[in-house]
Amino acid sequence: MTLLVEDRGAVRILTMNRPEKRNALNTALTRALLEGLRAADVADAVRCVVLTGAGPGFCAGADLSEFKDLTPEKQGAVEERAELTMQLHLIFSRMAKPVVTAINGAAMGGGAGLALAGDLAVMAESAKLGYPETRHGIVAAIVMANLVRQVGRKAAFELVSLGEPVSANQAMAIGLVNRVAPDALAEAVSLATKLAELNPQAIQATKQLFHEVADLSLEEALQRGREANKRMRGFKKA
């Protein structure tokens, strides 16, 4: 199976399972991830999701072995894969339930995009994260949209232009991740468990409002906050 699913209480752990390929994202794994995240979001017993990778790496990014079939002569396949990739990176902000990424090893390119797409990120002390696309003559295209929302513009541009990886401590220093730990999965599950114990309505409303106000003017953001403030009076205890 390309994606492993495990429930620990109210926390669902999704593990990318292509360790021999450093969990590179081929079409099958990308689809499985998208379906797995959607399924977790509608599962009544699940309150938080953890995403990690099997083996020593988190995710090496796109599976380059599939690129030979993505040529201008096969425009339909090119468009289908690009759409699938976009939908995968978009779903994290659209989910009602929070997602914690456990960056257990190297996260590169599209893998770095996945690592940062979650609501919280925990990185192993030995892990590296980077966007090496320019070194291969291409662009960190889809993943760039989320990156520039995560860190300052100067740091983001350095990452996508030079293509040099950063260490866990460097990632922490520039705000790419929340925590650095010897065991990223254990720390991520601990964080997810704390989130799962909170009022689910409050968490859902917090996440929804967070992603809405990030791209609004101050006045519009305050208006959305006002409406959320009125709605939260009806929240019930978990």
What is the per-residue pLDDT for 227? 87
Q: Do 206 and 120 reside in the same domain of the chain? A: no
Domain membership of residue 217 as a residue range: 199-234
The rounded Cα 175 to chain-centroid distance in angstroms is 15
Report the CATH number that the domain containing residue 72 is assigned in CATH: 3.90.226.10
* Mean pLDDT value across residues 136-147: 90
pLDDT of 30 > 70? The answer is yes
What is the per-residue pLDDT for 215? 82
pLDDT of 66 > 90? The answer is no
Q: Do 61 and 9 reside in the same domain of the chain? A: yes
Nearest to 171 by CA among 135, 134, 123: 123
Q: Do 141 and 60 reside in the same domain of the chain? A: yes
Q: Do 179 and 211 reside in the same domain of the chain? A: no
- The contacts of residue 88 (CB under 8 Å, 6+ apart) are 30, 33, 34, 114
Q: Do 187 and 72 reside in the same domain of the chain? A: yes
Q: Do 30 and 124 reside in the same domain of the chain? A: yes
Q: Do 165 and 223 reside in the same domain of the chain? A: no
Rounded to two decimals, the pTM is: 0.92
Q: Do 41 and 124 reside in the same domain of the chain? A: yes
Q: Do 78 and 181 reside in the same domain of the chain? A: yes
What is the per-residue pLDDT for 201? 93
What tens digit of pLDDT does each residue of 208-223 get?
999 988 888 889 888 9
pLDDT of 70 > 60? The answer is no
Q: Give, to the nearest 10 degrees, the angle between helix 110-117 and helix 75-94.
A: 20
What is the per-residue pLDDT for 225? 86
Give the count of domains, the chain.
Answer: 2
Known catalytic residues are 133
Strand order in the sheet with 120-124: 3-8, 11-16, 48-53, 99-103, 120-124, 179-181
pLDDT of 67 > 70? The answer is no
Q: Do 185 and 209 reside in the same domain of the chain? A: no
